[in-house]
Amino acid sequence: MMNKKLFTLIVSILMVLDVPFIIYGFNFNSVAFDEDYYKKEFSKYNVYGNLENYAIEKINSDVLNYLKNEKNNELIKNEFFNEREKIHLLDVKNLIQTIFTIFNISIILFLSLFILLILLLSCESKIPRTPKIFDFCANFNFKKITKKLLIILVIGSLLTLLDAVIFFILSNFNFNFIFDIMHKTFFSLGTFTFNPESENIVVLYPENLFFDFLVKIISNTILSSIIILFFSIMSFFIFFRFIFSKFFQKILTTITKNRKL
């Protein structure tokens, strides 16, 4: 029994820790490949004016399609970029594909752990000597499973919300430091610094665009966490309102009896 409770606790903790990866991954994907977002940013930072002789939207679309492709060592086929810029885009592509892989694994892991949690909460504590699947898992407890899942979502969304708020404050406090640390962590030295006078990549994607990009992802993550937190708490109290009402009714009955005595 203790081993089962411990195992259930471990599975629940892993599911809680998995929630931030899913929320961040979803919001990264929704922002990173939103072409309308880039159009607004290009207008905001006068990219159209700085590169007026180029089809900016077509080039950006080619870049986004390139970054979406499966992980490989092919350079982007676009003469807008020089060789060094193309190599950097390949590094960015491999990083993004890694993020996608982590996101997909997080979803699969969460679903797998949830199935395992259902089995742990539904199956009998004592395993018969000649177990049968239907006998072993006949004690399906919908309320118990729902309650556990909602608690996991509440804690997971709270963890994501706290992390995103801290990240948002740090980003606004010193973005250049964070931007530099991220590049040094994921890219080799000398491969991510470009001259705007001779290299187009930093003109097409100015640093301030990435600041807005990061803020949007964090803001969407905060909003997503609040939505999940709100609906999880609401669902928890709506779904278990009868249990709470009975609990408080029992307390009131006990208090009334004690007063009479």
Average pLDDT over residues 192-220: 91
pLDDT higher than 50, residue 133: no
- Taking only the tens place, the pLDDT of each residue in 70-97 is 667 889 988 899 999 999 999 999 999 9
What one-character-per-residue DSSP string does 229-258 give?
HHHHHHHHHHHTHHHHHHHHHHHHHHHHHH
CA angle 58, 61, 62 (to 5 degrees): 90
- Taking only the tens place, the pLDDT of each residue in 40-61 is 999 999 999 999 989 999 999 9
Q: How far is CA 190 from CA 98, 186, 242, in A?
A: 22, 12, 63
For residues 82 and 62, what is the distance between their CA atoms, to the nearest angstrom? 15
Task: Identify which has the larger pLDDT, 135 or 113.
Answer: 113
- Taking only the tens place, the pLDDT of each residue in 138-170 is 566 778 888 899 999 999 999 999 999 998 888
pLDDT higher than 80, residue 250: no
Q: How far is CA 210 from CA 30, 143, 230, in A?
A: 15, 45, 30
- Taking only the tens place, the pLDDT of each residue in 24-38 is 999 999 999 999 999
Other Cβ atoms closer than 10 A to 122: 16
Other Cβ atoms closer than 10 A to 217: 21
For residues 198 and 187, what is the distance between their CA atoms, to the nearest angstrom? 21
For residues 239 and 11, what is the distance between their CA atoms, to the nearest angstrom? 23
In Å, how far from its chain's centre is CA 96? 14
pLDDT at 3: 81
Instruction: Looking at the chain, list the stretches that DSSP marks H as alpha helix, in order from N- to C-terminal side.
Output: 2-32, 35-44, 47-50, 56-68, 83-122, 133-136, 142-173, 175-186, 201-204, 207-239, 241-260
